[in-house]
Amino acid sequence: MHEQTAELIAFPIDRRMALVKRAAGELSALSGEAANGYWRATARRLLQELTEQGRDMDAARREVLRFFEAVQAEFRKELAQRRSSASA
């Protein structure tokens, strides 16, 4: 009998747009230590999720960094849209 194996690759968290938009929305409503606390808790939760899925810690950290960059890009996009709407 021949046993086949396959590697399961999870969808990257920086492409999970609902999660990215939710984090950007939460961060836009917070400032200072509250924003830092939200981000630290989110990063910790995502790192745990990724390592439980089998990623090594370095790969998980890189993916969380990409997620943070996606959140920042979404935050800037939303801010630009609000500014555009306010000046129209």
Q: Coil, strand or helix: which one is 23?
A: helix
DSSP state of 4: P
* Number of domains observed in the structure of the chain: 1
Q: Which domain holds residue 59?
A: 28-87
pLDDT in tens, 26-83: 998 999 999 999 999 999 999 999 999 999 999 999 999 999 999 999 989 988 888 8
Q: CA nearest 46: which of 76, 27, 19?
A: 19
Single pTM value for the model: 0.81
Give a yes or no: residue 82 inside a domain.
yes
Give a yes or no: residue 68 inside a domain.
yes
Q: How confident is the model at residue 86 (pLDDT cuts 50, 70, 90)?
A: confident
Give a yes or no: residue 52 inside a domain.
yes
Residue-level pLDDT at 70: 97
Q: Coil, strand or helix: which one is 32?
A: helix
Q: What distances in angstroms separate CA 58 from CA 24, 25, 48, one per listed residue?
A: 24, 27, 12
- Cite the DSSP H helix spans in 3-88: 17-28, 32-52, 57-87
Residue-level pLDDT at 51: 95
